[in-house]
Structure 1
Amino acid sequence: MDIDWGFALVLSGISLTSAVAAVFVLPFLPRRARNAAAETQGDMVLLFDGEHLVDATPDGRRFLAGGPKGLTDWQRFCALIVPRFPGFPERMERLPKDGSALLAEAGGEAQLTAVWLDGVIRLTLQMPRFSDPAGGLTDAQSLAALTAELETLRDVVEAMPTPAWQRDEKGGVAWANSAYLDIVRGRHDDGQIVWPLPVLFSQDQGETGSPRRQAIDIGAERDRWFDCVSVETHGASLHFALPADATVRAETALRNFVQTLTKTFAELPIGLAVFNRTRELVLFNPAMSDLFNLEPEFLTGRPTLLNLLDRLRETRMMPEPKNFRSWREQILRLERDACDGVYSDTWTLPGGQVYRVTGRPHPDGAVAFLFEDISTEMSMTRRFRSEIETGQAVIDSLPEAMVVFSSAGILTLSNSAYAELWGEDPRLVMGTTDIADATAQWRAQCLPSPSEAGAELPRRIRQREAWSCELVRRDGQRLDCHLKPIAGGCMLVEFRPSARTEASDTPAVSRASSG
């Protein structure tokens, strides 16, 4: 009896010791050993033979179906797993040697187990169960809503017309959408895609959130332009490439147009200065520096309109103002009239140069000023005016009445003796009297002649014939009229007092002769 009780006590001690050992040792056993018999209901199992999926659980097939389209089974699985399990490609390369691998999700509770089975890879993805705040499992409706939302987000990303991708810690492409994959296919003649995906865009993306323009080769000897934007979210780096081909073409066309205008403006002798809406100099040509002796460094420094005019006033390259108040009023009038498109002035500089200044409004509140050196033109105008005045004074000093008709038959020149003889100075209405008007005035003040010399005058003048005749004024004065063709198709008509002595009782007689 004593032996039996002792034996029972020994058995009880062994059982108690085993239970305690199990309680303390079980947590330290590998998870793989504890789950070696079978996976839980939420696990996904997939078997891969190279790039091909051999078999998978229903959950595993649904999971794989959410990967990017157009890839092999293995590439789609990598595209889904790499963003969540860093180091997955490296561990898979060593799997034939290691035999197995266990990876933990970055920032999550999922685990991925890989086993090498004579060339076949067995992957087990253990996903955490969704729980509500009370600790229970989530209901089927909430799970269905989350699944539907996930599918919607996947569809949106895949349907995006712009490339989107995610990079891993080493800078490789861990995930990409269909638009990115289409570019990868276009760069290969056979349209094949290899994994890991090539990096199409450079690592330097600029500051987060700020776009950086970049061109990539898409084959067929042409490039495509994109504005790349990087976004950091939940420790991951997401990148987006917005197409910028149309913008680049527009900018190129605008740049070429501006270069053409710049080359054209550079050859112009007229100074051009364009000020923006804040009145800063944004465009000028070399003539500005030549006309006003301004340094290119000053012009390229984007001076304001007031600063430029101050510099011109200091260097005596604009009319000297009488006082500062009038100077300010002149500047205000210049800017106001230029905005209205009516500013035009002639600047006579202290050095003797004469500039014509014109202000014109431009779109968006800009103003353009044109500075033209008209010193030579003004000098020639003054010289011509002086020559004309001298010539007029010379013919005014002659005693004979003289008048000149242009080739078009317009009275263009006469002297004081002509105005005194016929009682009207055509210089007061220069350019409006023609041959018919002038000859009608002569005939009205003369007696009719038997030879109708007065009626012949208009025809003879128009035919530019050298001709002479005698006219008798109603006051009895006899005049010798001489027609002479001169240069430029003009006709000179000269009236001189006749040398003949008229008999007091003989009626006035006119004579005409060719000469």
Structure 2
Amino acid sequence: MIRRRRVAGQNMTFDWVFALILGVTSVATAALSLALLPLVPRLGRAAKAARSDIDMVFLFDGEQLVDATPEARRFLAGGPSGLSDWHRLCALVGPRFPEFRDRIARLDRDGSTLMTEAGGRAQIFAKWLDGVVRLSLHLPEEERALDAPDPQSLAAMAAELTTLRDVVEAMPTPAWQEDEEGAVAWANSAYLGLVRQCQGEGTQLNWPLPALFSPPDEGGHAPHRDVIQTRDGAERWFDCVSVMADGARLRFALPADAAVRAETALRNFVQTLTKTFAELPIGLAVFNRARELVLFNPAMLDLFNLEPEFLTARPTLVAVLDRLRETRMMPEPKDYRTWREQIVRLERDAQNGVYADTWTLPSGHVYRVTGRPHPDGAVAFLFEDISAEMSLTRRFRGEIETGQAVIDSLDEAIAVFSGAGLLTMSNAAYAELWGEDPMLVMGTTDIAGATAIWQQNCMPEETGTAVELSRLIRQRKPWAGSMVHRDGRRLACRLRPVGGGAVLVGFRPDCLAPSIESPVSRAAG
């Protein structure tokens, strides 16, 4: 019994000791937890800061990328294509760190350098490691977390960005961005291809890219034309356009080779026409829709004795005609009303393309005036001096009239047939003998028609002679004979070839030449 009590007392003592130890341990744990509880947020922020301070790290040996963190490689993938990794990085960080190239250039002397973004918190730390450059690019957490989109929006933005990038890269026209100093800060593939054409296909491209085009006018955004020369000596023409977007200058170069060739061909054509018009003896005057003189050649000055100052002042058609009337260089109208009606008719007929007139001037000169319509309501007038032509025509007409008067004075009836067999000349005695007016039948009567008239007006037994004359005229053989007219007169006939393939046929009363009987009988056989 006593032994059992002792054991029970020992067990109670052990329970109290165990409970005491457990309580002290719990109190200590609670106290330690209360002491460490304020530090928990700080540790979380420190861990978060540690995670946000992970930089993008690049290792470059010259311009070759040796190693980079995954985030750094993703960053490089967003740079312009067609460039080396180093120049792609320069293109990405250059706009945010303008002094990047200069600081890197002297890194082998400085050993290390720290660059801070102008107007921002991004930083680049560069260190020289025995020829290898270690770059650490730090972007602040605010840039990553500020207005972070949801995954769906982020995917849509990424797809749109990819599409826009593909569109810009596939553009056939060069496009590039310039900084404040005019240096190229970004360029698309077409611009890079143009740089290769200028520098050579095998040339390694360096950043910044060369500026191929001249800078635009100060403060001007108007398109201007520029030309560059490729390595093979060919000239490429472009219409350059500049726009401002978010403080940056975007420039586009639209190919203009076809337009330049067309303009050059048009300019050469106009020069050729100008030289041709300048050498033409025919005066040319072109009036536009408003009837203002827009084009004339030097012959206008010579034909009408006009002053160059008057014509270059773009006078109207009425003003030009008034000046010609005042200087007596056009036919004098009867009165002012007739003059105005003449101007209206001239303009109307020229617009319809039917105006043609001959001006006989008081000085004796004769001008042929022709009006022709031109596109867009314009009208062109041609003034040709035909004084020499008219003088020659008058002289020829006078000679023809004189010759006609001479053969009309002959008693012998004469008819001349051309080589084509047409009656081209006859005299009054021929018309009186055969009853046919030569002025009415000249050029329309042929040999068959003439011999038919002769047969009708001769005795029936003389029909064979008229038919024989038709054959002899076509053969152009000399002949002499006789035939009897219906009125009983015997006619002595002769046929003689003359110049130009023509044949002369003559008829006269046989009683006027009695000595011709013997040769006629000999010719007749």
TM range (shorter): 0.7 to 0.9
Distance in 2 separating the partners of 1:125 and 1:131: 11
- The answer as to 2:178 corresponding to 1:167 is yes
Aligned to 2:135: 122
Any conservation in 1 of the 2:325–2:332 contact (CA below 8 Å)? yes
2:454 counterpart of 1:442: yes
**Deviation of 1:433 (Å):** 1.0
Within the alignment, does 1:62 sit opposite 2:74 as a pair? yes
TM value normalised by structure 1: 0.81
2:506 paired with 1:494: yes
Shift, 1:405, TM fit = 1.8
Spell out, residue by residue over 1:83-137, the C-alpha distance to the aligned partner (whole angstroms, 9 max, x if none). Answer: 344343334335555532333346xx452323324341423242564699xx865
Asked if 2 retains the 8 angstrom alpha-carbon contact of 1:453 and 1:512, the reply is no
Q: Which residue of 2 aligns with 1:414?
A: 426
1:262 is matched with 274
Tell me whether 1:212 sits opposite 2:224 in the alignment. Answer: yes
**Distance change (3 Å), C-alpha of 1:140 and 1:416:** same
Q: In the TM superposition, what is the alpha-carbon distance from 1:177 to its structure 2 partner?
A: 1.2
CA separation in 2, counterparts of 1:279 and 1:206? Answer: 41
Name the structure 1 match of 2:42.
none
Q: Deviations over 1:132-177 (max 9, x none)?
A: 9xx8654343344333333332222222111111222222222211
Higher-helix-fraction structure: 2
Residue 474 of structure 1: how far off its partner (Å): 2.0
In the alignment, which residue of structure 2 is the partner of 1:242? Answer: 254
Supply the distance in 1 between the matched residues of 2:522 and 2:284 (Cα, whole angstroms): 64
1:467 positional shift = 2.5
- The answer to whether structure 1 residue 402 and structure 2 residue 414 are counterparts is yes
Match of 1:457 in 2: 469
CA contact (8 A) 1:110 1:127 kept: yes
Residue matched to 1:7: none
1:227 CA displacement: 0.8
Cα distance, 1:220 vs structure 2: 1.5
Number of equivalent positions: 469
Per the alignment, residue 157 of structure 1 pairs with: 168
Distance 1:128 1:361, change over 3 A: farther
Task: Say whether the 8 Å CA contact 1:347–1:357 is kept in structure 2.
Answer: yes
User: 2:410 is paired with a residue of what secondary structure?
Assistant: coil
Pairwise CA distance, 1:307: 4.3
How far apart are the structure 2 equivalents of 1:272 and 1:158? 55
Q: Distance in 2 between matches of 1:450 and 1:188?
A: 103
The SS at the match of 1:514 is helix
**8 Å Cα contact 2:355-2:372 kept in structure 1:** yes
User: Which of 191, 210, 231 is residue 243 of structure 2 equivalent to?
Assistant: 231
**Contact 1:83-1:175 within 8 A present in 2 as well:** no
Secondary structure of 1:71's aligned partner:
coil
Asked whether the 8 Å contact 1:216–1:223 carries over to 2, the reply is yes
Q: In structure 2, how many angstroms separate the alpha carbons of the residues matched to 1:453 and 1:68?
A: 108
Provide the residue aligned with 2:435 in structure 1. Answer: 423
AA aligned opposite 1:464: R
Do the aligned partners of 2:107 and 2:128 also contact (CA within 8 Å) in 1?
Answer: no
Q: Which amino acid aligns with 1:227?
A: D
Mapping for residues 131-210 of structure 1, pairs under 5 Å = 137-189=148-200, 190-204=202-216, 208-210=220-222
The alpha-carbon deviation at position 303 of structure 1 amounts to 4.5
Taking the aligned partners of 1:424 and 1:43, their CA distance within structure 2 comes to 122
Seen in structure 2, the aligned counterparts of structure 1 residues 312 and 453 have a Cα distance that, compared at 3 Å, is same
| Percentage identity across paired residues of the two chains | 64
Residue in structure 2 matched with residue 83 of structure 1 by the alignment: 95
The answer as to whether partners of 1:164 and 1:176 remain within 8 angstroms in 2 is yes
The aligned counterpart of 1:11 is none
Distance change >3 Å, CA 327–CA 234, structure 1 → 2: farther
Query: What amino acid is the match of 2:456?
Result: A
The answer on 1:361 being equivalent to 2:373 is yes
Residue aligned with 2:364, SS: coil
Aligned-partner Cα distance in 1 for 2:141–2:296: 69
Counterpart residue identity of residue 523, structure 2:
S
Residue 316 of structure 1: aligned partner: 328
Mean Cα deviation higher: 189-198 or 302-311: 302-311
Is 1:514 aligned to residue 484 of structure 2? no
Q: Tell me which amino acid in the other structure corresponds to 1:66.
A: G
User: Which runs of 5 or more structure 2 residues have no equivalent in the other structure?
Assistant: 1-45, 515-519
Give the whole-Å Cα distance in 1 for the aligned partners of 2:346 and 2:100: 73
Deviation at 1:297, TM superposition (A): 4.9
For residues 123 and 301 of structure 1, the distance between their equivalents in structure 2, rounded to whole angstroms, comes to 74
Partner of 1:271: 283
Q: Does the C-alpha gap of structure 1 residues 498 and 254 become closer, same or farther in structure 2, counting only changes over 3 Å?
A: same
Alpha-carbon offset, residue 45 of structure 1: 4.2
Distance 1:334 1:40 in 2: 90
Structure 2 residue 364 is matched with structure 1 residue 352 = yes
**1:382–1:110 CA distance, 2 compared to 1 (3 A):** farther
Aligned to 1:73: 85
Deviation string 1:458-494 (CA, Å, 9 cap, x unpaired) is 2232333333222222222222223233332222222
Secondary structure of the residue aligned to 2:206 is coil
Query: Counterparts of 1:338 and 1:115 in 2: how far apart (Å)?
Result: 83
Q: CA deviation at 1:308?
A: 3.8
The 1:343–1:112 alpha-carbon spacing in structure 2 relative to 1, beyond 3 Å, is farther
Letter in 2 for 1:341: G
Secondary structure (helix, strand or coil) at the match of 1:187 reads: helix
1:375-430: CA deviations, max 9, x gaps?
Answer: 11111112222222222223223333222222222111122222122222122122
Aligned partners of 1:149, 1:105: CA distance in 2, in Å?
Answer: 29
Runs of at least 5 residues in structure 1 that lack an aligned partner in the other structure:
1-33, 503-510
Return the alpha-carbon distance in structure 2 between the equivalents of residues 131 and 198 of structure 1.
34
Give the root-mean-square deviation of aligned CA atoms: 3.2
> SS in structure 1 opposite 2:199?
coil
CA distance in 1, matches of 2:337, 2:273: 38
2:123 alignment counterpart: 112
Work out the CA distance in 1 between the residues paired with 2:511 and 2:356: 58
Q: Secondary structure at the match of 1:380?
A: helix
TM-score (normalizing by structure 2)? 0.79
Paired amino acid for 1:113: I
Alpha-carbon distance in 1 for matches of 2:204, 2:333: 78
- Among 488, 493, 512, the residue aligned to 1:481: 493
Query: Does the C-alpha gap of structure 1 residues 218 and 49 become closer, same or farther in structure 2, counting only changes over 3 Å?
Result: same
Give the counterpart of 2:115 among 98, 102, 116.
Answer: 102
Shift of the 311–141 alpha-carbon distance from structure 1 to 2, 3 Å rule, reads farther
Give yes or no for the alignment of 1:392 onto 2:404: yes
Seen in structure 2, the aligned counterparts of structure 1 residues 124 and 255 have a Cα distance that, compared at 3 Å, is same
AA partner of residue 124 (structure 1):
L
Partners of 2:359 and 2:220 lie apart in 1 by: 55
Q: Report the Cα distance in structure 2 between the residues aligned to 1:501 and 1:358, rounded to whole angstroms.
A: 57
CA distance in 1, matches of 2:195, 2:357: 64
Cα–Cα, structure 1 residues 500 and 247, in superposed 2: closer, same or farther, change >3 Å?
closer
Instruction: For 2:136 and 2:337, locate their aligned partners in 1 and report how far apart those are by CA, in whole Å.
Output: 89
CA contact (8 A) 1:319 1:348 kept: yes
Partner AA of 1:100 in structure 2: T
Partners of 1:101 and 1:305 lie apart in 2 by 80
Q: CA 1:324–1:403 in 2, change beyond 3 Å: closer, same or farther? A: same
